[in-house]
Amino acid sequence: MSVPDPSSGAPGPEAARAPAPLAAVQPQDAGDARRETPPPPTPLDLRLRALSVAARYHGVELDRDDLRVPEGEMPAPALLVEWVRGAGLWAKAVRMRWRSLLGITGGGPVVLLLNDGTAALMVRADPARNVVWLRDPLSSSDDMAVAVDELRLAQVWGGEAILVRRERGVTFDDEPFSFAWLARMVWVEKRVLRDVVLGSIVLSLLAIAPPILVMVVVDKVVTYQSMSTLALIALFLGAAALYEAYLGYIRRQLIQIVATRLDTKLALHVFRRLLGLSIDYFERTQTGAILYQVGQISKVRDFMTGRLLTTLLDFVTLLVMVPVLFWINVPLTWMVIGAAGMVALIIVIFLPSVRAAYAKWMDAEIQRNTVMVETVHGIRTVKSLALEPQQREMWDQKVATASARKQALGNISNWPQTLVVPFESFMNRGVLLVGAYFAVTGDIAVSVGSLMAFMMLSGRVAQPLVSTARLVEDLEETRAAVALAATVLNNKPETNNPGAGLRPRFAGAITFKGVDFTYPGSRNPALMDVSFEVPPGTMLGLVGRSGSGKSTITRLLQGINREYEGSIKIDGTDLREINLAHLRRSFGVVLQDNFLFRGTIRENLLAGRPGLTISDAVRAARLAGAEEFIERMPQGYETWIEEGSPNLSGGQRQRLAIARALIHDPRLLILDEATSALDPESEALVNANIQRIAHGRTMLIVSHRLSSLVDCHNILVLDQGRVVDIGPHKDLLERCSVYRQLWLQQHRHMENSGRPAAPKPVLAQGDN
Ligand SMILES: Nc1ncnc2c1ncn2[C@@H]1O[C@H](COP(=O)(O)OP(=O)(O)O)[C@@H](O)[C@H]1O
Ligand SMILES: [Mg+2]
C-alpha cells in the first residue's frame, strides 16, 4: 500500500494546490518539475488567488481545474467571471472609477485587476479618509491590508475590477425554460430596443409626410397651379427621403445587434443547460428526440429576432398612423380597422384546429428524425447486419406519416389564409371605392387629395394590422417549439449548485453500507443491501453474472446515479457531500467501449485538461502500455484519430483509454470490463500493466474473466444485486459456491486435464 503523493492528483485546499496551475502558464516547466519545488507565483496565479479569496468570503471554493486557460495566455476578465459563475456565485467584470470604488461597502472583497497583470483585493473603502484598503492575494488575512489613496492606486490600476457576490435564490439561468424566461431575456436588451422603437416612431412620422404632401399637392397645387409650393414640397420630400434612408439603416443595424446578441445568449444557455443534465436522462431518452427537440430553439430564435421584432415595430407604426387616418377620415378608418378585426377573428377561430394539426405533425417529425439519427449512429450495425431494407422501410413509413400530417396541417391552415384575402383587398382597394362613393354623393366631405392620402396610408396600416393578427399564429408555433425544447432543458439538472460540496484530497478508502438502489422507471432493484469496504491503495475485483449490479456499483461511486439509499463514503466523507465535478475528476474510468474524440492522440489523451502537457501524455501512455504502438505510428502523438477511431485496433483504443484515465494520476481507478472486448493478445498486454497501474491507487476492476482478478486484494461476488461474499481469490474458491461455480465454468478444461483448481492466471505478475 502506498501513501498518495501529496503534490499530485486531486486538487485539495487552496494552499496545497498552488503549484499545480503553474503548468498552464509555464509550459516549459511542465512534467516532472511540476511535482517538485513550487515556482514563484505568476501574475495569473495572483489573479486566480484573488478570485479564490473573494469566492471563499462567500463560502465557495473555486477549483482551478474548472478554468480553461489557453496555454500561455492571460485569461480575459470575461473568462474569469465565467469561472466564478460556474461555481455558483454571481460575478461581473466592471470598469470602475475611484468614486464608485469608494462607494462600495460590505459585500466582500472586490478583485482589482492591476495593470501589470496581477491583482489586488480591496477589502474595505474609507470614504471619510478618501482611501481604500488593499490586500495582497497571497497574504493570509485582511489584517495585512494597506491603505491606498487615489493617486497611488491610479499608478497601478486602470479601473478593471471583478465583483463577486453570493447569488440570491435561484439564478436567472436556472429558472425553467419558458416563454416568460425568453421574454425576460429579450427585456434585458431594453435599452437597444428602446432606441429601435424611437427610430421606428420617427420613421413612421416621416412616412406620414408624403401622403399628406400628396394631399396638399393634389388639392392646392393642381387646383391653384402654385409652382412655388410645388418646389418647396419637392425639396422637403427629398430631404425626408434621405433622412428616412439614414434612419432605416440605423434601425436595421440596431435590430441586427439585438438579434445577434439574443442568438448568442440562447445558444450558450441551451448548451450549458444540456450539459448540466444527468447522464441518466440521456440514457433514458432517444438521442434523435433530444436533438430534434433542442433544435427547436432555432425556431424560437427566428421568431424572437425576426417576426416578433418586426411585428412589434409594425405595431409602433400603427400607433402613429392610425390617429392620422382618423384625422383624415373617420368612417373610412373605422372600415379599415373593422376589416383588420375580421382578419384577426378568422385566425383566432381556426387556431385550435391549426394547433392540433401542428402538434400531430411535430410528433411525426420527431419520430422521423429519431430514425435518421439512430441509423446514422448505428450505421456499422446496420451495414454489417444488412439492415438497410428494414431501416429504409421504417424511414419510408415515418416520412409518409410526417408528410400526410404536414398535408393535413397545410389543408387546415389554408382556410384562414383564404378567408382573410377578401378583407385584405377591401382594406387596400375597397376603401377607395367607398371613399369615392362618399365623394360623389357628398354624404361625407371627402377631397380627392385626402382620398389619395388615405389610400397611401391605409396601405401602410393594413399590412401591420394583418401581420399583428398573424402573430397569434406564429406565437402558437413558437409556443410549441418552446414546449418541445423545454421537455429537454427543464429536466432536473445533475446539481443545483456546481460550486457546492467538499473537495477533499482522496486517499482512496471506499465504504458501501447498506446501499439499496433501483434505477428510475425500473421495478427491480439493481442493488440490495450492498455493504463492503475497500482499503486505500488496494484492488477490488467485482464479479457476478451479467446484470448482477457490478456496473451499477461503479456508477453510484461516480455520482452518475444519486438516488440510492444507505451510505457510500470515500475516506469517511459521505459521497453526497462531495463536489460532483471534484468527485468525477478524482476517478479514472475505463469502460468496455470508450469514446475517442476526433483529434490527435495527444489531444485525446490530454482531453483539454488545463495545465497538462505532452510529457504528461507520454507518462500516461507509458503506464498504460500504449507508448510502444504510438511511437511506431508515423506521426506519433500527433496521429489523427477519426470519429469511432477506425484506424486503431481494439487493444490500441483500450490502451489509449486507459492512458487517458491515468493522465491526471487519479487516486481511484475504475476498469469496467475494460478488457472484455479484446482479443487474448491485447487483453494480455493490458493486463500485464495492471499491477504497475495499480501502484498507489485504489482500483475497482469489473471483469467476467476471473483469471484476471486473481491478484486482487479482495473480490466482491455479486448475485442479482446482492453481495454474496467478499474475500481474496483463494478464500472464495474454498468457501463461496457462486464464485467456485463461475471459476469452474471458465476453467473446466483445466480441471479435466488433472491440473489443480487454482491455475496460474495468464498474466498475473505474482504477489507483491
Ligand atoms: N441505465 C439503466 N436503467 C435501468 N436499468 C438499468 C440501467 N443500467 C442497468 N440496469 C439494470 O440494473 C441491473 C444491474 O445492471 P448492471 O449493474 O449494469 O449489471 P452488470 O454490470 O453486473 O452486468 C440490471 O438488471 C440492469 O438491467
Ligand atoms: Mg456491466
| pLDDT, tens only, 135-181 | 888 887 767 788 899 899 999 999 999 998 876 544 556 678 888 88
Contact between residue 162 and residue 94 where contact means Cβ atoms under 8 Å apart: yes
Environment class of 238 (CB within 10 Å of its CB; exposed 0-12, middle 13-18, buried 19+):
exposed
> What local confidence, expressed as pLDDT, does residue 720 receive?
93
Among 284, 286, 516, 522, the mutation site with the greatest number of ligand 1 atoms within 8 A of its Cβ is: 522
One domain for residues 727 and 591: yes
CATH of residue 590's domain is: 3.40.50.300
Q: Is residue 504 part of a domain?
A: no
Q: Return the closest-CA partner of residue 671 out of 560, 539, 517.
A: 539
One domain for residues 529 and 668: yes
Please give the model's pTM, rounded to 2 decimal places.
0.68
Environment class of 734 (CB within 10 Å of its CB; exposed 0-12, middle 13-18, buried 19+):
exposed
Q: Is residue 762 part of a domain?
A: no
Tell me the C-alpha distance between 768 and 711, whole Å. Answer: 9
Query: Mind listing the pLDDT tens digit for each residue in 264-308?
Result: 888 888 888 888 888 888 888 888 888 888 888 888 888 877 777
One domain for residues 746 and 650: yes
Tell me the C-alpha distance between 761 and 748, whole Å. Answer: 14
Tell me the C-alpha distance between 429 and 421, whole Å. Answer: 12
Collect the ranges in the chain with pLDDT lower than 50.
1-35, 169-170, 753-768
> What local confidence, expressed as pLDDT, does residue 608 receive?
67
Sequence-separated (6 or more) residues with CB below 8 Å from residue 88: 60, 167, 497, 498, 499, 500
One domain for residues 160 and 197: no
Tell me the C-alpha distance between 506 and 9, whole Å. Answer: 9
User: Which ligand is the nearest neighbour of the Cα of 676?
Assistant: 2
Q: Is residue 552 part of a domain?
A: yes
One domain for residues 248 and 284: yes
**Is the CB of residue 544 below 6 angstroms from any atom belonging to ligand 1?**
yes
Please give the distance, rounded to the nearest whole angstrom, from the Cα atom of residue 757 to the centre of ligand 2: 27
Tell me the C-alpha distance between 532 and 454, whole Å. Answer: 87
One domain for residues 131 and 207: no
524 SS3 class:
coil
One domain for residues 162 and 18: yes
115, 150, 170 - which closes a domain: 170
CA distances from 292 to 289, 296, 391, 757 (A): 5, 7, 19, 56
Instruction: Count how many domains the chain has.
Output: 3
User: Which ligand is the nearest neighbour of the Cα of 716?
Assistant: 1
Q: Is residue 111 part of a domain?
A: yes
Sequence-separated (6 or more) residues with CB below 8 Å from residue 699: 538, 539, 540, 668, 669, 670, 671, 690, 693
One domain for residues 24 and 55: yes
Q: Is residue 259 part of a domain?
A: yes
One domain for residues 43 and 78: yes
Amino acid present at 451: L
Averaged confidence pLDDT in the chain: 82
> What local confidence, expressed as pLDDT, does residue 498 receive?
67
Among 283, 512, 515, 548, the mutation site with the greatest number of ligand 1 atoms within 8 A of its Cβ is: 548
- Give Rg (Cα) of the chain: 35
Tell me the C-alpha distance between 553 and 513, whole Å. Answer: 12
One domain for residues 336 and 474: yes
> What local confidence, expressed as pLDDT, does residue 26 receive?
39
170, 196, 214 - which closes a domain: 170
The β-bridge relationship of strands 668-672 and 587-590 is parallel
Please give the distance, rounded to the nearest whole angstrom, from the Cα atom of residue 680 to the centre of ligand 1: 26
Q: Whose CA is nearest to atom 12 of ligand 1?
A: 526
CATH of residue 473's domain is: 1.20.1560.10
Tell me the C-alpha distance between 182 and 186, whole Å. Answer: 6
One domain for residues 235 and 161: no
Q: Is residue 498 part of a domain?
A: no
> What local confidence, expressed as pLDDT, does residue 254 receive?
80
Please give the distance, rounded to the nearest whole angstrom, from the Cα atom of residue 695 to the centre of ligand 1: 30
Q: Domain residues for 244?
A: 179-489
> What local confidence, expressed as pLDDT, does residue 316 receive?
80
For the CA atoms of 558, 563, 569, 573, the dihedral, rounded to the nearest 10 degrees, stands at 100
> What local confidence, expressed as pLDDT, does residue 397 receive?
95
CATH of residue 33's domain is: 3.90.70.10
Q: Is residue 9 part of a domain?
A: no
Environment class of 90 (CB within 10 Å of its CB; exposed 0-12, middle 13-18, buried 19+):
middle
Sequence-separated (6 or more) residues with CB below 8 Å from residue 20: 11, 34, 64, 611
Amino acid present at 649: S
Q: Is residue 598 part of a domain?
A: yes
Sign of torsion, CA 390 392 395 401? Answer: negative
Q: Return the closest-CA partner of residue 408 out of 357, 450, 456, 372.
A: 357
Q: Whose CA is nearest to atom 18 of ligand 1?
A: 551
One domain for residues 96 and 232: no
